[in-house]
């Protein structure tokens, strides 16, 4: 990780480290990095003043007839790519549009939204920084193939440690298989991706992504987790993109593949991206009160109230895939109830019971997953929290709890009193359409970005819902 102040510093580093290629990473609306590379000889002041042109419509921005945009690298984000054959210096770039011949920040650039939200937090006088700490759950697999034709639909997934391989005689089978739902903290040799993860964690540390820990997770066919240290909103979104890049490319070097799909396996644990959040003003933690519920301050509870009130509207940004809603079902430690509680993994918001010190006091939003664009997901979450604080949204008065019981085991009469998350992507889009004003405050989100997100996700919902499912043939073919 290398933060540069100007072009001269970059050019000096290029000479010292024998850099051959400069690579620029640019985020699209879905949350994928695109990239463009130039020879090191072409890196000069014009890259920062004029930028590099690209077609914004191919990234999901603007329209085809008004798609000329430029990106300009953020020199504070430099890192040397550990996977490139030619030594490559990488920068994350900001997106600009052309207005009256001038280059101005594109208002819907996801990185710019993150900046605007952080500035809005300060401008409203709430505090000077919000810290985010995601937990990244994912599967490490040995094979993935899929095919969707008019006459043939198929997915094949395999994991070396999966229980279904206990009887495999095609190779020397050494056992060490993990039973369904039995992967939580399993040790070697059953934890077959351990060495890959440790190697990846060292790469993450070397490239500016501090890691708290990594371990195997509940899902038997190779589910694991990497939890990272806290950072501010935009910085954490940058780190999230870097983590995905390093993880996926390193997996290929190990002959493995990884997926953040929330529900790749039927009848197995889904993968979420639980997001921890707390606020600080200077060195003062704002979420701690020794006399509050679970030692949470009034400010923290209002933030919880805001996120829970807007929980459904957040989901087109925190859970933007049709697959997201196959994870959010009862019985798999995935939350479906819009409420909060201490150490309660069945609630949308959990207050960690072990976080008892003032500077560690926080809450965790458990519904998001990593199919989201991290800039948009973290920004939407922050805007909901700000709305809760400014409007003093009391989660108790709103009926959100606290619930310190297993919500899955509540009697039907009681469970019915607790609001549930949207059951699918179209319901989430409808919730956002009805509840978007909190996102528009301070000019953080724009109407057009929200409109485009709803249109894109609605199209995906109907695209998937129109596909016959193999299980439907078992249910209905002979009727």
- Give the Cα separation of 383 and 229 in Å (integer): 22
Q: Residues 55, 86, 357, 472: which is the catalytic one?
A: 55
Q: Residues 23, 81, 191, 225: which is the catalytic one?
A: 225
Torsion sign over Cα 431, 436, 438, 439: positive
- 276 flagged as catalytic: no
- 274 flagged as catalytic: yes
* Residue 155: strand, helix, or coil: strand
- 472 flagged as catalytic: no
Q: Residues 310, 350, 366, 461: which is the catalytic one?
A: 366
Q: Residues 74, 81, 137, 289: which is the catalytic one?
A: 137
- Tell me how far apart the terminal alpha carbons of the chain are, to the nearest angstrom: 62
Q: What are the residues facing 80 on neighbouring strands?
A: 89
Which residues 6+ apart lie within 8 Å of 318 measured at CB? Answer: 365, 367, 368, 369, 372, 377, 380, 381
- Give the Cα separation of 290 and 95 in Å (integer): 44
Backbone angles phi, psi at 127, to 5 degrees: -170, 180
- 55 flagged as catalytic: yes
- 364 flagged as catalytic: yes
CA angle (104 as vertex; 316, 111 as ends), nearest 5: 35
- 345 flagged as catalytic: yes
Distance of CA 314 to the CA centre of its chain: 13
Name the token pair of 53.
């042109």
Q: Roughly what angle, to the nearest 10 degrees, separates helices 311-318 and 374-390?
A: 160
Residue 413: how many other CB atoms lie within 10 Å: 7
- Give the Cα separation of 25 and 43 in Å (integer): 15
* Helix extents (H) in 186-330: 194-206, 233-253, 298-309, 311-318, 324-327
- Give the Cα separation of 476 and 50 in Å (integer): 60
Cis bond upstream, residue 311 (ω within 30):
no
- 160 flagged as catalytic: no
Q: Residues 111, 239, 274, 461: which is the catalytic one?
A: 274
Name the token pair of 413.
């009469």
DSSP code per residue over 440-461: HGGG-S-HHHHHHHHHHHHHHH
Name the token pair of 294.
């679970």
Q: Residues 81, 217, 235, 268: which is the catalytic one?
A: 217
**What 8-state DSSP symbol labels residue 166?**
T
Catalogue the active-site residues: 55, 135, 137, 217, 225, 274, 345, 364, 366
């Amino acid at each position: 990780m290398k933060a540069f102040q100007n072009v001269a510093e970059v050019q000096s580093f290029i000479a010292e480290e024998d850099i051959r290629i400069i690579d620029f990473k640019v985020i699209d609306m879905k949350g994928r990095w695109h990239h463009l590379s130039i020879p090191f000889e072409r890196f000069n002041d014009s890259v920062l003043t004029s930028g590099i042109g690209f077609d914004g419509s191919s990234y999901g921005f603007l329209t085809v007839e008004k798609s000329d945009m430029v990106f300009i690298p953020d020199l504070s984000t430099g890192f040397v790519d550990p996977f490139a054959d030619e030594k490559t210096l990488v920068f994350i770039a900001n997106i600009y549009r052309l207005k009256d011949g001038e280059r101005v920040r594109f208002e819907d650039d996801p990185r710019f939204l993150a900046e605007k939200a952080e500035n809005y937090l300060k401008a409203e006088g709430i505090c000077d920084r919000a810290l985010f700490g995601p937990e990244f759950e994912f599967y490490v697999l040995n094979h993935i193939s899929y095919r969707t034709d008019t006459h043939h639909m198929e997915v094949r997934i395999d994991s070396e440690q999966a229980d279904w391989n206990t009887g495999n005689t095609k190779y020397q089978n050494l056992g060490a298989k993990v039973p369904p739902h039995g992967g939580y903290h399993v040790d070697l040799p059953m934890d077959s991706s351990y060495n890959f993860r440790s190697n990846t964690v060292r790469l993450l540390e070397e490239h500016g992504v501090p890691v708290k820990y990594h371990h195997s997770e509940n899902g038997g066919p190779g589910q694991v987790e990497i939890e990272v240290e806290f950072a501010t909103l935009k910085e954490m979104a940058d780190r999230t993109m870097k983590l995905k890049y390093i993880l996926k490319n390193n997996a290929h070097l190990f002959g493995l593949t990884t997926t953040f799909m929330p529900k790749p396996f039927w009848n197995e644990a889904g993968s979420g991206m639980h997001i921890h959040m707390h606020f600080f003003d200077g060195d003062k933690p704002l979420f701690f009160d020794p006399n509050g519920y679970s030692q949470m301050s009034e400010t923290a509870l209002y933030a919880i109230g805001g996120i829970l009130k807007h929980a459904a509207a957040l989901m087109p940004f925190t859970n933007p895939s049709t697959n997201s809603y196959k994870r959010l079902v009862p019985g798999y430690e995935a939350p479906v109830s819009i409420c909060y509680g201490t150490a309660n993994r069945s609630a949308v918001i959990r207050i960690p019971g072990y976080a008892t010190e003032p500077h560690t006091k926080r809450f965790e939003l458990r519904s998001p997953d990593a199919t989201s664009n991290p800039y948009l997901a973290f920004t939407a979450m922050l805007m909901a929290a700000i709305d809760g604080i400014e409007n003093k949204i009391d989660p108790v008065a709103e009926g959100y709890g606290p619930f310190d019981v297993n919500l899955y085991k509540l009697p039907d009469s009681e469970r019915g009193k607790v609001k549930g998350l949207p059951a699918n992507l179209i319901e989430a889009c409808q919730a956002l359409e009805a509840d978007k004003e909190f996102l528009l405050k301070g000019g953080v989100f724009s109407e057009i970005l929200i409109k485009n997100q709803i249109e894109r996700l609605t199209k995906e919902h109907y695209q998937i819902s129109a596909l016959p499912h193999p299980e439907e043939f078992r249910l209905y073919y002979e009727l």
